[in-house]
Amino acid sequence: MNKDNSQQITFGGGCFWCVESCFNMLKGVESAISGYSGGHTSNPTYEEICTGETGHAEVVQITYDPSIISYDQLMDVFFFLHDPTQLNRQGNDIGTQYRSVIFYKDDAEKQNAENAIRESEATGKWSGKYVTELAAFEKFWPAEQYHQGYYHVNPNQPYCSAVVGPKIQKFKKHFGELGMLEADSE
């Protein structure tokens, strides 16, 4: 990968354990790191953001090489992995920390995100109006170390085996057929 060409995108689509695991399997993704963004407190902890009072969302910050994977492809994966029509929830995960959100760094990225939302919504994959929030990126706080690669280390944890595992299998089937996964992820 060309690290000089690397770009970053930060978004939230529910629990970061699944989102991070999936993005780390994609060709062209250098890293996907679980963390927090969009809140009003510094150095938030997992326990604090779970209260919903800090304003943060569980997010994943992705560093990628756009010569290998495009912004549009990342958006396709993002909208595949979560239901963007559910306000402040994904399945049984309820609260503002689980909101659908794209953090943009400049006007061009905001426009690209708006276009991606419109295009995804037009596919009809999800019934209902998208509630994905667009917010200016301010700060990314990496989550505690035990959250990084959580599913990989804890596949038999009850939430992982019941919720994350099936979602990852669906992701691997779909994006594997498109040839977008690293060889060791298939």
18 is catalytic: no
Closest to 34 in 3D by CA, of 60, 64, 62, 11 = 60
- Which of 15, 18, 22, 160 is the catalytic position? 15
**What are phi and psi for residue 15, nearest 5 degrees?**
-60, 130
Contact criterion met (CB below 8 Å) for 22 and 171: yes
Q: Which residue has the tokens 């700060």?
A: 139
Instruction: Report which secondary-structure segment, H or E, holds 119.
Output: helix 107-123
C-alpha span between 55 and 116 (Å, rounded): 24
Would you give per-residue pLDDT tens digits along the chain (186 residues)? 666 789 999 999 999 998 999 999 999 999 999 999 999 999 999 999 999 999 999 999 999 999 999 999 999 999 999 999 999 999 889 999 999 999 999 999 999 999 999 999 999 999 999 999 999 999 999 999 999 999 999 999 999 999 999 999 999 999 999 999 998 876
Walk across the sheet containing 100-104 and list its strands.
Answer: 133-136, 100-104, 7-13, 57-64, 29-37, 140-142
In 3D, which of 68, 90, 69 has the Cα closest to residue 79? Answer: 90
pLDDT digits (tens, 9 = 90+) for 161-173: 999 999 999 999 9
Overall pTM > 0.85: yes
pLDDT digits (tens, 9 = 90+) for 56-78: 999 999 999 999 999 999 999 99
